[in-house]
Amino acid sequence: MNIDIGNALDAVAQPGVSEDSLRRLDDRVAAAHDRIERGIADEEFGYAALSLPETTDPDAIHDAVAPLADSEYVLTVGIGGSALGAATVADALGVGERAPVLDNVDPQSLQTTVESLPLSETAVHVVSRSGTTAETLGNFLVVREAMADAGVDWTDRTIVTTGESGPLHALADEHALPTLSVPEGVPGRFSVLSPVGLIPAAILGCDIEAVLAGGHAGRTALAPSIFDCPAYAYGAVAVALERRGAHVNAFVPYAERLEYFAEWFAQLWAESLGKDGMGQTPVRALGATDQHSQLQLYRAGRHDKLITLVRPRDRSQLTIPDTEIEELAYLGDTGVGELIDAEFEATEASLAAASQPNVRVEIDRLDAASLGELLYGMEAACILAGELLDVETFTQPAVEWGKRAARGLLGDIDAPETDAITEKERLVVAPDRSQ
């Protein structure tokens, strides 16, 4: 993974950061690097995520999934960090169509998904650290019943990833389900390089060893200076720009198979850094598609955005056929990859010409190793950013309020938060149907 921060410099962009101020910031980066290395060495909460390329045992994953190796589909039942990593890896490695996810509680789509799958050829991967996540367990109960109705023995088709205890663990024990652990000390959004993120890819025959090797390459690339470490360069520049007004981070991969990656990044960034009145708002986008949707705003709107442009350097070959249409003759014999790369570079230049800060992230190609490196790099960038912002990167205290309110509404607990719902301030505007 390489990072080009040229278009984030103040010679180009507004807001922009000077090379001098990057050099000054580099002392803090060195100190943060020390802190992070200490956290890794001591297996501290959160920092332990950066050891996963070494601590995750691919053989244990292969052993656990072996009884399910005949599966045509893998349905991940999880939400947030328990689902996004798995979907990201499967999608990036080209098996996304066979790795659907239940990460919502929409009755319509839940039913459609369950009905569309050949349940006797589907592995169900249930992921919840606590084993009590309402959405996940509710969905699992629906899937389990659908399997029973279809005459499929759910105990033959289910694999569980959960904590060391809890109701899901107990259930797995009772029915002797293959079970792997959510790694200790690793928050869900940092767990992609563990069984949480790798199980569907493993069942579907992807090279998870290469993903971990890519992560390992990211680990060895950590170094105490912005100018030597792509991941820290990205994290530091993002923070420097945020301080100068770039309160939005639009993450724009130019590769369809990284569409889920952008969503994974959005969780990583928002939940880790969105604290204490700070944190960039991540915006998931997709190149070149969103040039026809968001680029007008990115160029001509406020100067409050960092645009992160991501691409693989090598692409598969596919040529646009010659055409009898004169106005399109210039496209004939052009590679589709050439076209998207031309648009990538043109968009990057067009943002720079409008002084809108942007950063280029490049990987060699979209394969398992580069994916692992990119995942690891963005996690390290995020942890570095958290150090520079002095926030608690690994917690998400603000989501608890709503969880309690919802459980109160559903009658599980008595929660004062629930009262706020009935006392809601209302000013409803409805159409006048009498016309």
Are 351 and 7 spatial neighbours (Cβ–Cβ below 8 Å)? yes
Q: What are the CA-CA distances from residue 42 to residues 50, 101, 404, 425 (Å)?
A: 12, 34, 33, 49
Q: Between 404 and 433, how does the x/- string for binding to a second copy read (CB under 8 A)?
A: -xxxxxxxx----xx-xx--xxxxxxxxx-
6 vs 67 by CB, closer to a second copy:
6
DSSP string over 265-311: HHHHHHHHH--TT---EEEE--TTGGGGTTHHHHHHS-S-EEEEEEE
Applying CB under 8 A, the span of 39-47, 54-62, 193-201, 333-341 interacting with a second copy comes to 333-341
Tell the smallest beta-carbon distance from residue 19 to a second copy (Å). 8
Q: Based on the shown chain and the rule CB under 8 A, indicate whether residue 118 belongs to the binding site for a second copy.
A: no
C-alpha–C-alpha distance, residues 44 and 41, integer Å: 8
Span 157-186, contacts to a second copy by CB under 8 A: 166-167, 170-171
Tell the smallest beta-carbon distance from residue 63 to a second copy (Å). 26
Known catalytic residue at 271: yes
Q: Based on the shown chain and the rule CB under 8 A, indicate whether residue 366 belongs to the binding site for a second copy.
A: yes
Span 32-61, contacts to a second copy by CB under 8 A: none
Known catalytic residue at 303: yes
Size of the site for a second copy (CB under 8 A): 156
Q: Based on the shown chain and the rule CB under 8 A, indicate whether residue 291 belongs to the binding site for a second copy.
A: yes
C-alpha–C-alpha distance, residues 313 and 255, integer Å: 11
Beta strands 281-284; 248-253: pairing state:
parallel
Q: Between 124 and 143, how does the x/- string for binding to a second copy read (CB under 8 A)?
A: -------xx-xx-xx--xx-
Which of 207, 209, 256, 364 is the binder for a second copy (CB under 8 A)?
A: 256
202 vs 231 by CB, closer to a second copy:
231
Tell the smallest beta-carbon distance from residue 185 to a second copy (Å). 19
Which of 31, 41, 60, 399 is the binder for a second copy (CB under 8 A)?
A: 399
C-alpha–C-alpha distance, residues 57 and 180, integer Å: 11
Are 54 and 220 spatial neighbours (Cβ–Cβ below 8 Å)? no
Tell the smallest beta-carbon distance from residue 23 to a second copy (Å). 12
65 vs 284 by CB, closer to a second copy:
284
Catalytic annotation, pick one of 209, 303, 338, 362: 303
Amino acid letter, residue 284: R
Other Cβ atoms closer than 10 A to 301: 13
Q: Based on the shown chain and the rule CB under 8 A, indicate whether residue 31 belongs to the binding site for a second copy.
A: no
Q: Based on the shown chain and the rule CB under 8 A, indicate whether residue 384 belongs to the binding site for a second copy.
A: no
Span 265-284, contacts to a second copy by CB under 8 A: 266-267, 270-271, 273-279, 281, 283-284
Span 195-254, contacts to a second copy by CB under 8 A: 217, 220-221, 223, 226-230, 233, 247-248, 250, 254
C-alpha–C-alpha distance, residues 339 and 342, integer Å: 5
If phi > 0 it is left, if psi is from -120 to 50 it is alpha, else beta; for residue 182 that is beta
213 vs 406 by CB, closer to a second copy:
406
65 vs 295 by CB, closer to a second copy:
295
Tell the smallest beta-carbon distance from residue 206 to a second copy (Å). 15
C-alpha–C-alpha distance, residues 381 and 388, integer Å: 11
Tell the smallest beta-carbon distance from residue 365 to a second copy (Å). 10
C-alpha–C-alpha distance, residues 267 and 82, integer Å: 11
Q: Report the largest interatomic distance among the alpha carbons of the chain, rounded to a whole angstrom.
A: 71
C-alpha–C-alpha distance, residues 96 and 6, integer Å: 34
Catalytic annotation, pick one of 271, 348, 373, 387: 271
**Inter-axis angle of helices 368-389 and 230-243, to 10 degrees?**
40
Span 56-115, contacts to a second copy by CB under 8 A: 79-81, 84, 94, 97, 103-112
Applying CB under 8 A, the span of 175-183, 194-202, 326-334, 380-388 interacting with a second copy comes to 326-334
C-alpha–C-alpha distance, residues 387 and 32, integer Å: 6
Are 159 and 180 spatial neighbours (Cβ–Cβ below 8 Å)? yes
Are 253 and 261 spatial neighbours (Cβ–Cβ below 8 Å)? yes
Q: What are the CA-CA distances from residue 338 to residues 312, 315, 324 (Å)?
A: 12, 9, 21
Catalytic sites, residue numbers? 271, 303, 403
